[in-house]
Structures are given as C-alpha cells and as structure tokens.
Amino acid sequence: MRKIEEFWIEFTPDEPKKANAAVSFIFDVTDSLKGAVIAAFVIFCLVFRVIGVEGTSMMPTLHDGDWVAVSGISMNIKKGDIVIITQPWERNVPIVKRVVAKGGDTVDIDFALGEVFVNGEKLNEPYIDEPTTLSYDVQFPLTVPEGKVFVMGDNRGDSLDSRSSKIGCIDERYILGKVMIRLYPSEDWKIE
C-alpha cells in the first residue's frame, strides 16, 4: 500500500491576492483578444473585403500585387469610382476597373485624340496612364443601358474593358464593391 503525502502551501497574506490578480489579468487579456478577433472578422467579412490586384490595367493608380479594401456596403456607385467586378467572362476572374458612365449616359471616344466624352462633355482624367487611343470592337457613341455601367482601366493602352464586347457594359448586380483604400503597399493608402 502506498502512502499519500499531503502538501500544504502556506501563503503570506498578500500572495493569494497577487495570484488572483495575475489570473484575472490573463483572463482579461484573453477576453480582449477574443473580442478583437471577432470584431476584425465582422468588419472584414461584412463591411470590407480584402482583394489582391492582378495585372497592370489600372496603372498608375493600382499596381500588380497591391492589396485593397473593398466596401460592399452602401453601393452608391458614382462615376469615377474604382470597383471590383465579378461579371462572368471568358477568363472567369474578378476584374478591377473605373466607372466611366452609368445607365442612360452616352459614351463617345475620339481614338485619334485619345479623349473620352460622357453626355457630350470631355472627361478630365488626371488618373490615366496615357490617352485612350486603343479601340476594340464596340462602336461609339454608345448609350449605356439602364442598370449597367461602362468601365475602363486607367492604363488605357493595356486594359480589356467595356470598349470590348468580351467585357461590355457591366450589370450593376455584378459589382462586388467599391475600392476604398490601398492596404498594401502601406506607404500610399489613398486612392484617387
């Protein structure tokens, strides 16, 4: 038969308080971290999505490898907004483009001068890489159907966009969200 030994630990009057304070601190930190993780999950799943940019069609505004925060809440898309589009096309990948015109607007492009007109007014486009001289198979002037948007990349010489029937006008239901800020690289958060 084995003998069970009893051990008694004696505490000074302050030691139990210190032990309880340490345990309480650990539980508080754990609770705070759990709350922060849940809040981050809710924010990034319901409010923002993080999307990686692939390709050069949005240069100089966005570059290949940039990471952006995209908001799908309050989808009040305006002309000039940069959006993520999930409309099916031959490559079946989301694309990032700038909204140039909305339903009911008439788009005309003078490819010789490289100028874009919406409803007869020349667009001021300080964000483009080069003038719009590349044409595809869409004929202009073009009136954008209601419920759709006309989009183009900022790198007009290297962007497959609404100028091509492969992409065409985008049904607004296929707009995943609006690009809000650049997350990476972090030295330039703001997007114009």
List, by residue number, the catalytic residues. 57, 97
CA distance 5 to 20: 26
Beta strands in 34-189 (DSSP E): 48-52, 67-71, 82-85, 95-102, 106-110, 115-118, 121-122, 142-143, 148-152, 170-171, 175-184
Residue 170: which of 50, 91, 76, 89 has the closest Cα?
89
